[in-house]
Amino acid sequence: MTDRMGLWPVRWDARLLLAVLVLFPFLGLGTPPLFDLDEGAFTASTTEMFLRGDFLSSYLLGEPRYDKPILIYWLQAASVTLFGHGEFAWRLPSALASSAWILATYAFATRVIGRSAGLTAALVIATAAGLAVITRAATADALLNLWLACAGYATWLWMREDDRRWLYAAWLAMALGFLTKGPVALVIPGGAMFLWCASLGEWRRFLAWALPLGPILLFLAVAAPWFIAQTFIEGPGFLAGFFLKHNLSRFDTPMEGHGGNYFYYVPVVLVSLLPHTGLLLAALGRLRAVWQDTLLRYGLLWFLVAFVLFSFSGTKLPHYVYYGYGGLVLVLAAMAERPGRRWLILIPAPLMFGLLLAMPAILAAVAGKLKPDDRLLLTGLPDAFGAAYWLWCGAALLLSLAFLVLRRIDTTRALRLNGLLAGVAMAAFLIPIVGQVQQAPIRNAARLAHDYPGELVLYGIDTPSFQTYAGRAVRKRAPHSGDLVLTRESRLAKLPGAEPVYRERGYVLARMP
């Protein structure tokens, strides 16, 4: 156990690594355009708050948006008010939340396992491939993951130290999570706590956690007022839309085409943890030891709650399973403290860098099977992967292979270097490249549309970032005379007389006669 004065690294290189990891979500933060659908939907909804002059209710393209609670919109509104309506400002709340998530994970893992484990846990969150995307996305998920981590860690400290202040902290974090994304902020910590107590027969402890009067009153004081105000403003339809459609109904049927089979999250987990997937494979080989350790059992059950819950959900998105990663990283960090087969832990890194080097060829092969509009979007794809991409990924592949065979470089250090190489590859190269290919035409058309007269309309496409970049109200409907319409080349023929004013790789901005 590490005392409070000993939480922070002693060696200068460990201090430097922690500082780099905490700041890592800011790498490349403002470089790629906003991604549709998710980043576009969140930022367009916040933009609509400014356009409507209403910062209590969320709307998207003129329609009420009951999908998510209000907290992330408020934070985005504050950020762009202070720093302007650029990509950096839109993503800043998520980056700050991610930095806090990384720091909280380091502090907790250090306190309950040790400093080295704390650095490894922070490393996984900062540099794993899937998390490199979510930690710098202008959505609610980075913020939710912070609150889930704080709730789970505070719960464990309450159990270990019998200090009621940690119980209040856990319920406060769940309240803020509820204001961020709704009931999942209660379900994940509650499910983990229930299963952990059930596995040990600690039913009184579970009831003490689940039914504390003071913490519940704190939860209601923080989470309830906005929901009450929204119900008063929007009527009962808000509660039905939020709780029934956008929460319960997601488990019955796929929404917005986001479905999948029961094994959907198996490859998601394996790929999203790269280059640290070897730690997961090591944990699978030591499940008995993991289960016998009460802390690691807690982390494992926390992960399994999210994994199983969303595996059986009708609606599936890759980042849903990340809600369990606050617990999973504890297991992974413990595996790094007791490394077994070096090759098993380190081999995923060169595999990942090899995959990144093959990515342009893979995308080119896939392009031939896409619809005509999407083939146009990928025009010039080989040029998007410049020399810097090839040099970084090629050097990273060679270094990761060297780390694998040179045993004088210990496994923990090799793991950390691989993580940093992979994190930079994702944040500084791959994500910006994909963003430019996928989203640049929409951003360019929107900036042009900002000064054009007439109403702005989306026709046959769902790209809400068009409203964010245009800074004007956009509607999704059949075009009328005088409208300025963003559509795809294949749909232009359905708009007789439409005069294109801008074209780029399959997207067309056209004036209706």
Block mean pLDDT (10 aa), the chain, length 513:
66 95 97 95 97 94 89 98 97 98 98 96 98 96 98 97 96 98 96 98 96 97 94 80 62 56 93 97 95 98 97 88 98 88 94 96 86 88 91 98 92 96 98 96 96 94 97 95 96 93 96 95
Alpha-carbon distance 241 to 229, whole Å? 15
Interatomic CA distance for residues 142 and 361, integer angstroms: 31
Q: What is the pLDDT of residue 464?
A: 97
Containing 64, the helix (H) or strand (E) segment is strand 63-64
- The three-point CA angle 469-470-476 to 5° equals 105
Q: How far apart are CA 68 and CA 177, in angstroms?
A: 11
Report the C-alpha gap between 506 and 489 in whole angstroms.
Answer: 5
Q: CA 122, CA 314: separation in Å to the nearest integer?
A: 32
- Closest-CA residue to 499 (of 488, 490, 507, 485): 485
At 248 the pLDDT is: 59
The dihedral of CA 149, 155, 161, 163: what is its sign? positive
Burial 430-445 (b: 16+ CB within 10 A, else e): bbbbbbebbbbbbbbb
Tokens 């780029």 correspond to 504
pLDDT, residue 252, reads: 58
> CA 103, CA 107: separation in Å to the nearest integer?
6
Type of residue found at 43: T
Residues contacting residue 217 through CB under 8 Å, at least 6 positions apart: none
Q: Which residues contact 252 (CB under 8 A, 6 or more apart)?
A: 314
Residue owning tokens 């019955």: 252
Q: How many CB atoms lie within 10 A of CB 199?
A: 13
Say how far residue 475 (Cα) sits from the centre of its chain.
27
User: What pLDDT score was predicted for residue 3?
Assistant: 46
220-232 burial, b for 16+ CB within 10 Å, e for fewer?
Answer: eebbeebbeebee
Cα–Cα dist 134/150, whole Å: 18
State pTM to two decimals.
0.94
CB-based contact 277:270 (threshold 8 Å): yes
Rounded to an integer, what distance in angstroms lies between the CA atom of residue 215 and that of residue 219?
6
> How many angstroms separate the CA atoms of 335 and 173, rounded?
28
Q: Is 111 helix (H, G, I), strand (E, B) or coil?
A: helix
Q: Are strands 499-504 and 507-511 parallel, antiparallel or unpaired?
A: antiparallel
